[in-house]
Each structure stands twice: as C-alpha cells, then as structure tokens.
C-alpha cells in the first residue's frame, strides 16, 4: 500500500504539493491579509525537520512537484536548510521540480543559494510597476527591493514568472505596460482573479474583482492570441501572443474553475492538509508527525485525507454577493 500513488475519488493523481513554511510575511497585501495580523505562535508551526519529513512522505507517495509558499517563505528563519534537505529528492530523480512563490523582497539575498539547491524557477507576486501603487497594495513593501530581487534571480539563472492579481480600478491601466516589461525582461506572466478569502469587506472585494475574461478580451483587441496545451502542474491556462512570442497564463477560479484537472493539495505551516483551496475540509498531519518517529501513521493520514478530496470549489461572485468565501486568509493556506 505504501508504494501505491495517491489518487483521489475522481481518479485524479495527486502529483503537486504546495507547502506553507510560515504564515508570516514582510508585506501586508490588501487582498491577502489585514494590516495588523495575529500570527500563529511559533510552537504551533512545524519545524524545518518536520516539514522535510512530511514533504518526503508525499514524494514517496508520488508527488513530483513541490512548491514552498508562505506567507513569505524566505522570511522563515534558516529556511535554506529545508531547501538543501529537499534537494536530495531532485538528485535522486524522485522529484521533478522544487520551487517557490515569493514576494521577491528577499530574493537578492537568497537567489544564488536557491539556484545551488536545484531550484530552476520562481514565481514572484507583482501587481504593479508603479512604486506608489505598490506601496499602497502591499502596505509595507518597496518596489525597488522587489526589482532588485527579480534581477538577482535572473542573474542566478532562475526563470522568473510574474504573478499579477487582476484588481479592478487598480492595475487595469497597467495591463499593457506589465506585458511589455515582462517581454523585455524575458519573464512569463500569469494573471490571477482575486479570490474571496480571508477577513474582507464584501463590497470592497466585489469592487476589486476584475474578471479575466474581460482582461483577455482587452488583450485580444491588440494582439493575436492562440491557445496553448501547456500544463505546468498548476491551474493556469496559457495563450501565446503572436506579436511578441510571449506566454501568458490565466488563473480563473471564478469565471472558469480549473477543478476537473486538479492534481494538487496544500499543507499549512501547522501541518493541516487542505484537499481543496476553496473548501474548509482539512486533515491534521501534525499529530501523527509528532506522535511517532515512524511514517506509517503519517502516510495513512495522507491517504485517508486524499480519499475525501472534493470534486471542486464553490468560489463565485454574483452581481451583489460573494459565494464560497473562505474565512481563512491565503497566508494561512499558502499560495
């Protein structure tokens, strides 16, 4: 049984794991967390050794892609020790990719070490190229620090993908400037619909929502878009822009969910396994981790949880109401 790959009730193989290594972040992005967050006591977080053990159990069950997230993963103390430990699975061939999602603030410091651990690409969250607007949307962030980090990642040989949350009335006017900048720097670009998660004012969140069907239609007015069969193990759907040769992704949990091909689960920094980003069902993996040095109970808990993975989420924005809202923030679940 232990060597049987993970498959959910809908015959979807689970090959992609996203693990939050911390709920803390040095930014306070308005769509992600409140300005005065109450973070978890550190004793509740999995240790780096426990995170390694848990990730390794998933790799043993057939996970081929591992993404570390947060919060901001690079603010976790000594986090590079975890990257170095997990790199053994790249060397053995058990793991195809080890990567991370970051706000970029610490990349200038860590990019060379990440590359040395076998990380080949990073996702950087960046919603605007305007320093003033960047400060407003992140509350605590500095655009120049992130740009330095992106440049350092590129210099270290890391492929950079920019993740931009589409925010109505905020970055609509930057659609083409973001595209041009990414083309000039050689970065891929993915747009994401804002999701109804966390402590939010419903009217404010509805006001932020910019459907990617509209964004894509604006692109099509200027460029020739062709669908790509490209799949990177995540929820994005991709097009190629004929005029620039760029690949642009769209993550559309609201206008067109991506559940039918979902191959991923998420683990929080406290060891909670969420089988679906848009559902509250979860399983406790911390207790079996700490209950025994053997992995049998951990593997059994993982298999039991995957057997309850739902078919999909319920995210929805109507004209006057948000459905499928999750009370937890993205910083709790992980990106």
161 is in an annotated binding site: yes
Residues β-bridged to residue 267:
19, 273
31 is in an annotated binding site: yes
182 is in an annotated binding site: no
Residue 219: C-alpha distances to residues 64, 176, 178 (Å): 34, 8, 12
266 is in an annotated binding site: yes
Using DSSP bridges, classify how beta strands 272-274 and 282-284 pair: parallel, antiparallel or unpaired.
Answer: antiparallel
195 is in an annotated binding site: yes
CB-CB neighbours of 87 under 10 Å: 17
In what order do the strands lie in the sheet containing 264-267? 225-228, 237-241, 247-251, 188-193, 159-166, 121-125, 97-102, 65-69, 16-20, 264-267, 272-274, 282-284
Q: Where are the beta strands (DSSP E) in 27-84?
A: 65-69
238 is in an annotated binding site: no
Determine the Cα–Cα distance for residues 47 and 50; give it in Å rounded to an integer: 5
Determine the Cα–Cα distance for residues 328 and 198; give it in Å rounded to an integer: 5
12 is in an annotated binding site: no
231 is in an annotated binding site: no
33 is in an annotated binding site: no
Using DSSP bridges, classify how beta strands 316-317 and 322-323 pair: parallel, antiparallel or unpaired.
Answer: antiparallel
Determine the Cα–Cα distance for residues 206 and 321; give it in Å rounded to an integer: 8
Place of tokens 């004209």: 319
Residue 203: C-alpha distances to residues 250, 316, 321, 329 (Å): 24, 14, 8, 17
117 is in an annotated binding site: no
Residue 279: C-alpha distances to residues 23, 285, 324 (Å): 19, 17, 8
55 is in an annotated binding site: no
18 is in an annotated binding site: yes
> Tokens representing 237?
């759907």
User: What Rg, from alpha-carbon coordinates, does the chain have?
Assistant: 19
CB-CB neighbours of 190 under 10 Å: 21
CA 178: distance to chain centroid? 20
240 is in an annotated binding site: no
211 contacts 255 by C-beta, under 8 angstroms: yes
Name the DSSP letter for residue 41. P
How many H helices and E strands in the chain?
Answer: 11, 14
Known binding-site positions for [4Fe-4S] cluster: 25, 29, 32, 259, 262, 276
Known binding-site positions for S-adenosyl-L-methionine: 31, 71, 125, 195
Known binding-site positions for GTP: 18, 67, 101, 161, 264-266
Known binding-site positions: 18, 25, 29, 31-32, 67, 71, 101, 125, 161, 195, 259, 262, 264-266, 276
């Amino acid at each position: 049984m232990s060597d049987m790959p993970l498959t959910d009730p809908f015959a979807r193989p689970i090959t992609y794991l996203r693990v939050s290594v911390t709920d803390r972040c040095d930014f306070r992005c308005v769509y992600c967390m409140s300005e005065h967050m109450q973070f978890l006591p550190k004793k509740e977080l999995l240790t780096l050794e426990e995170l390694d053990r848990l990730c390794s159990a998933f790799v043993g069950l057939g996970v081929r892609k591992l993404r570390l997230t947060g919060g901001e993963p690079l603010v976790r103390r000594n986090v590079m020790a975890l990257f170095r430990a997990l790199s053994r699975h790249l060397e053995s061939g058990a793991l195809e990719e080890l990567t991370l999602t970051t706000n970029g603030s610490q990349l200038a410091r860590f990019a060379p070490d990440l590359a040395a651990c076998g990380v080949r690409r990073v996702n950087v969250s960046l919603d605007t190229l305007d320093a003033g607007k960047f400060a407003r949307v992140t509350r605590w962030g500095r655009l120049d620090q992130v740009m330095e980090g992106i440049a350092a990642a590129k210099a270290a040989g890391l492929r950079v993908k920019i993740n931009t949350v589409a925010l109505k009335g905020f970055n609509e006017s930057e659609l083409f400037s973001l595209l041009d900048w990414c083309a000039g720097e050689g970065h891929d670009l993915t747009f994401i619909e804002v999701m109804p998660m966390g402590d939010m004012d419903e009217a404010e969140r509805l006001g932020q929502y910019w459907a990617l069907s509209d964004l894509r239609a604006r692109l099509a007015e200027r460029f020739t878009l062709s669908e790509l069969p490209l799949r990177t193990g995540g929820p994005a759907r991709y097009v190629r822009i004929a005029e620039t040769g760029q690949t642009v992704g769209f993550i559309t949990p609201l206008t067109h969910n991506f559940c039918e091909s979902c191959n991923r689960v998420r683990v929080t920094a406290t060891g909670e396994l969420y089988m679906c980003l848009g559902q509250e069902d979860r399983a406790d993996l911390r207790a079996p981790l700490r209950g025994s040095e053997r992995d049998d109970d951990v593997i059994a808990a993982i298999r039991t949880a995957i057997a309850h993975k739902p078919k999909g989420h319920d995210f929805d924005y109507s004209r006057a109401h948000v459905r499928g809202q999750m009370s937890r923030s993205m910083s709790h679940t992980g990106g």
